[in-house]
Amino acid sequence: AQSVTQLGSHVSVSEGALVLLRCNYSSSVPPYLFWYVQYPNQGLQLLLKYTSAATLVKGINGFEAEFKKSETSFHLTKPSAHMSDAAEYFCAVSGTYNNNDMRFGAGTRLTVKP
């Protein structure tokens, strides 16, 4: 079984500052890992995914994440926060190509201060 833990339900940064959202996973098989973003009252949108290729994954809107097996982590970063980055971010893990076993973290709400 797979699971993810997102550290920090709320993160607040100033505009232009580094964004770091933490995700640790647990998986009995090599994992597929994902980050999704959700804007208020909308569905989720895929930001990026790791599927056993390069450990540093680049996504949309300037976000990237690094898969670290030794730390069982997949933290999401962005060098410079923009006001439009304010949203809720979900880390997810899957153990197979079947998305029906995907498990989501509880989410981290990112606030960007002007």
Partner 1 sequence: DGGITQSPKYLFRKEGQNVTLSCEQNLNHDAMYWYRQDPGQGLRLIYYSQIVNDFQKGDIAEGYSVSREKKESFPLTVTSAQKNPTAFYLCASSITGDPGELFFGEGSRLTVL
Should residue 27 be labelled a site residue for partner 1 when binding is judged by CB under 8 A? no
Q: Which stretch binds partner 1 (CB under 8 A): 16-24, 58-66, 68-76, 93-101?
A: 93-101
Amino acid letter, 82 = H
Site for partner 1 in 41-60 (CB under 8 A): 41-46, 49, 51
CA distances (Å), 111 to each of 5, 21, 52, 88, 91, in order?
20, 12, 31, 9, 17
- Taking CB under 8 A as the criterion, the residue among 20, 54, 60, 106 binding partner 1 is 106
Should residue 99 be labelled a site residue for partner 1 when binding is judged by CB under 8 A? yes
Distance CA 25, CA 32 (A): 10
- Footprint of partner 1 (CB under 8 A): 9, 32, 34, 36, 41-46, 49, 51, 90, 92, 94, 96-100, 102, 104-107
